[in-house]
Amino acid sequence: MTSHEKEFYVNVPNASRVNSRTALITGASSGIGEAFAEVFAAHGFDLVITARREDRLRAVAARLEERYRIRVLVCVADHARQDTAERLSTELAARGLTIDALVNNAGYGVPGTFVASPWQRHQDMLQVMVVGLAELTHRLLPGMIDRGYGRIINVASLAGLVPAPAGHTLYAAAKALVIKFSEALANEVRKHNIHVTAVCPGFTISEFHDVTGTREQMKNLPPWMWLDSPTVARQGFEAVMAGTPIYINGRVNRSIALLVRYVPERVVKAIGRRFGRSYRKA
Instruction: Please identify, using beta-carbon distances, which residue of 192 and 254 lies nearer to ligand NAP.
Output: 254
Q: Please compute, for residue 138, the number of CA atoms within 13 A of its CA located in the half-sphere on the CB side.
A: 9
By CB under 6 A, is residue 154 in contact with ligand NAP? no
Catalytic residue among 171, 247, 279, 281: 171
| 149 included as an active-site residue | no
Neighbours of 21 (CB within 10 A): 17
- Whether 105 contacts 129, CB under 8 Å: no
Instruction: Please identify, using beta-carbon distances, which residue of 41 and 128 lies nearer to ligand NAP.
Output: 128
Which of residues 24, 36, 48, 78 is near ligand NAP by CB under 6 A?
78
Q: What is the DSSP string of 186-210?
A: HHHHGGGTEEEEEEE--SEESSHHH
By CB under 6 A, is residue 203 in contact with ligand NAP? yes
Which residues does residue 238 pair with via DSSP β-bridges, in sequence order? none
Instruction: Please identify, using beta-carbon distances, which residue of 169 and 206 lies nearer to ligand NAP.
Output: 206
Q: Is 49 exposed, middle or buried (0-12, 13-18, 19+ CB in 10 A)?
A: buried
Which residues does residue 204 pair with via DSSP β-bridges, in sequence order? 227
By CB under 6 A, is residue 79 in contact with ligand NAP? yes
| 279 included as an active-site residue | no
Instruction: Please identify, using beta-carbon distances, which residue of 190 and 236 lies nearer to ligand NAP.
Output: 236
- Whether 76 contacts 52, CB under 8 Å: yes
Which of residues 24, 99, 103, 128 is near ligand NAP by CB under 6 A?
128
Rounded Cα distance, 200 and 246, in Å: 7
Catalytic residue among 9, 68, 175, 281: 175
Question: Segment 222-241, which members bind ligand NAP (CB under 6 A)?
Answer: 229
Element of type H or E holding 102: strand 101-104
Query: Residues interacting with ligand NAP, by CB under 6 A?
Result: 27-33, 51-53, 56, 77-80, 105-108, 128, 155, 157, 201, 203-204, 206-208, 211, 229
**Residues labelled catalytic:** 171, 175
